[in-house]
Amino acid sequence: MLTRRLLLSSIASIACIKAIAAPLKPAQTGLRGTIDISGYGVAPDKAGDQSKALNRLFREAAEKRLPVFLPAGEYHLSGLSLPDNLWLSGVPGQTRLIHAGGGSFISGETLTKLTLSDLVLDGGGRALGDDVQGLLNLRGVADLTIDNCTIAGASKHCIHAERCGGRITGNSVSQAAFSGIYAVESARLAITANTVFDCGNGGILVHRWEAGEDGTMVSGNRVFKIAAKDGGTGENGNGINIFRAWNVMVTDNHVSDCAFSAIRANAATNVQISNNQCLRSGETAIYSEFGFQGAIVSSNLVDGAANGILIVNFDDGGRLATVSGNIVRNLHIDGPYVHDGAGFGFGIAAEADTVISGNVIENAPKWGLVLGWGPYMRGIVATGNLVRSAGSGCAVTVVEGAGTALIANNLFQDVKDGAILGYRWNDKATGDLLAGGSAAFAHLTLTGNRLA
């Protein structure tokens, strides 16, 4: 017997079967609440350049405060200008925006908010215009989010973010002729959990035109295979490079196989470099150099480099640091250029107002510790360090005019030429001061050190 309940149940079942069997309309392939793209002439894998249609779609979506979801497929475009308040997403690894050629690819300027997520941006190595610095070229974005995107094949930088705040998180960035991520004049930007690799001149760069407050956090990134195709003596070839930016944190990153430094901070006051893995660096693994005041370098692991950790350039105002709890090992004397100073093959060096404590240095062919350079030394404390398997345990300057150094409670093992030696620049000027003779140098205090 056909009852009312059975009839209604049958009708509902038929409706469900039809809904499942019916093909989805283009608008239904998006996320709930996104704009319907079907009326804009935008479609995946459509032949030709879709720039005009995409520009119109993005502009109207932003005006309506609706997100844009692009289904999986390829979209060829160039000269795209992103509007304010755009929220653009796709299918991770499947929604591919491909550079069709021309002066620029995707840009955005003077925006309050911009969100890009789950997209592939493919530059294909195509040339960018003279006034364009990056495949994704952004300026003045107050609240920027770039999340879970793949960005590759830039003829300049992959991401150029100038005067931006917000976050660049969880992206894969590669095959940039210049650098993977170039952030300049940032305002409390977070660059976190990205994978940056196979770039021509740099990995992650945090720069300013003039020295000043920046506050960028560079944390949890994996950076590797960074070349220095434009050469130089350190301006290129760095995994993470901080230049003139103050109050920056570089923490918990894994950096390997860089032509120069894993982490290089130049004129970076109040920089914190902590808990990083730095493997197989071509030059100095960790640098704090030139015109800085304040650096914390702690709990890093350096394995394989020409030099380990350098806190230098007191002659140019570089001063005030702590270097503690680091492991530095397996150094070599061959660098990427001919050095006109101390050369290569030493573990930790510092010049002014610096405490070096609790570090382990192993396999340093030249020197384990280097304190001062010529007359440039002031207020150095080296205490509680272990140096083993080194050419010399500690080289300390005995040039006239050098300031004070306290060398205390360090242990030296298997140091070929001695534990603590006085140097005049590169020339050895004393025997092992641990065995006596330090009294001749009023600026040095040695106590509690041991040669095993």
Question: C-alpha angle 144/145/149, rounded to 5°?
Answer: 135
User: d(Cα 347, Cα 277) in Å, to the nearest integer?
Assistant: 16
**Residue 418 belongs to domain spanning:** 345-452
Asked whether 59 and 84 are in contact (CB, 8 A), the reply is no
Given a cut of 50, whether residue 39 has pLDDT beyond it is yes
Q: Is 80 exceeded by the pLDDT of residue 76?
A: yes
Reported confidence tier of residue 3, pLDDT bands at 50, 70, 90 = low
Out of 11-25, 145-159, 294-308, pick the least confident: 11-25
How far is residue 168 CA from its own chain's centroid? 12
pLDDT at 340: 85
DSSP assignment of 368-425, as one string?
Answer: EEEE-BTTB-EEEEEES-EEEEEEEEEEEE--TT---EEEES-EEEEETT-SEEEEET
Is residue 421 assigned to a domain? yes
441 in a structural domain: yes
pLDDT of residue 2 exceeding 80, the answer is no
Within a domain: residue 435? yes
If one counts the domains in the chain, the total is 1
Residues paired with 256 in a beta bridge: 224, 279
Task: Report if residue 43 sits inside a domain.
Answer: no
**pLDDT above 70: residue 24:** no
Within a domain: 109? no
User: Alpha-carbon distance 75 to 433, whole Å?
Assistant: 70
For the segment 221-235, what is each residue's pLDDT rounded down to a tens digit? Answer: 999 999 999 999 999
Q: Give per-residue pLDDT as tens, 136-152.
A: 999 999 999 999 999 99
Q: With cut-offs at 50, 70 and 90, classify the pLDDT of residue 31.
A: low
Exposure string for 302-317, b = 16+ CB within 10 A, e = fewer: bbbbbbbbbbbbbeee
The CA-CA-CA angle for residues 346, 347, 349, to 5°, reads 90
Confidence of residue 32 (pLDDT cuts 50, 70, 90): low
Average pLDDT score, the chain: 93
Percent of the chain topping pLDDT 90 = 90
Q: Give me the helices (H) in 262-317, please.
A: none
**Cβ atoms of residues 120 and 91 within 8 Å:** no
**431 within domain boundaries:** yes
Q: Is residue 373 a part of any domain in this protein?
A: yes
The values of phi and psi at residue 83, to 5°, are: -85, 170
Tell me whether residue 192 is in a domain.
Answer: no
More confident position, 217 or 19:
217
